Amino acid sequence: MATTNWLVSSPTPSVFLHPSVNPRLAFASIKNQTLVKTRVSFLGNAKRRLPAVLSMTATEEGAVKSVLPGNGISIMVNGCTGKMGKAVIKAADTAGVNIVPTSFGSASEAGQTVEVCGKEITVHGPTEREEVLSSVFQKHPELIVVDYTIPTAVNDNAELYSRVGVPFVMGTTGGDREKLYESVEKAKIYAVISPQMGKQVVAFLAAMEIMAEQFPGAFSGYSLEVMESHQASKLDASGTAKAVISCFQELGVSYDMDQIQLIRDPKQQVEMVGVPEEHVSGHAFYLYHLTSPDETVSFEFQHNVCGRSIYAEGTVDAVLFLAKKIRLKADQRIYNMIDVLREGNMR
């Protein structure tokens, strides 16, 4: 599956090149690491289920039609000053979803007005969040909040949404994920929580989890090398990479999450990783390289994304999915993007 993009070496020596490793590989070899037994599951706390049969009752069909864009659903995008937040607003606007002209940001952003798709959105700071959210929710009873803020705000934001009772789609990675699920479960609100919103990438992650479950130990003894490249503004290691690595660990590979090679320098991204210059400010490139103990066999898994449209479109699908579940008063309340994929009703 790999292409040559990741195999472009910098014309000058790179700190990521290991002298004892094949110079084709722009990352250091990680061997003999202790197996990390804590599973980072893409499914979160949800139990894996067999694919759903895509048949609907008349009530379900009505719910599907009622949540199509233009049928009462409103979203409030927190983090609208960021590129991901703006991308979601554009995708939602194109889909015909109503966008509330209110958003939350940092204290330094409070009072700012952001114009996206001809809409002026007022940013509110931390001190007035609960009062503002309660007021917006009262005015828009079918409101769904979309969160693309920062990792350190994940838990505080989730607790706020839980207190007010507003359903939400959490696209922000990081934070204490166990605490995040606990907050939502305790409040009994509806939410889609996912470290990855790109639908096609989600399908790849689901396939990895199935392989890990069905063939544990298949790669026992293999060494793993992982590189992930994102725009410099992404502060944390990718939740997607961690989920894939957890699958490889169940397949028998020893690897320490701290050894993920994080590429954040624009020059290295262009020269070493092969990121197009126009996408340095917004991309997600991943490479997982496996080598057998005797170094006679190797496998590469790679997925590269330029831009943010794949995540924005997936987020809008998640919003419509969640709105349907709310209208059906579904027993299950916490979902992820695999649930959205299973539904089979994406645009």
Catalytic machinery residues: 230, 234
- Give the H or E element holding residue 87: helix 83-95
Question: Which of 152, 143, 141 minimizes the C-alpha distance to 98?
Answer: 143
Kindly give, in sequence order, each residue whose CB lies less than 8 Å from that of residue 171, ignoring residues fewer than 6 positions away: 84, 88, 146, 147, 148, 194, 197, 311, 315
Pairing of strands 283-291, 223-230: antiparallel
Which DSSP string do the residues of 314-340 spell out, in sequence order? HHHHHHHHHHHHHHTT-S--EE-HHHH
Q: How many other CB atoms sit within 10 Å of the CB of residue 178?
A: 10
Structure tokens that stand for 44 in this block: 């979160």
Structure tokens that stand for 15 in this block: 């700190």
Q: Cβ(274)–Cβ(236) under 8 Å?
A: no
Question: Which of 221, 223, 220 minimizes the C-alpha distance to 20?
Answer: 223
Q: For the chain, how are helix, strand and coil distributed in percent, rounded to 5?
A: 40, 20, 45
Q: Cβ(248)–Cβ(219) under 8 Å?
A: yes
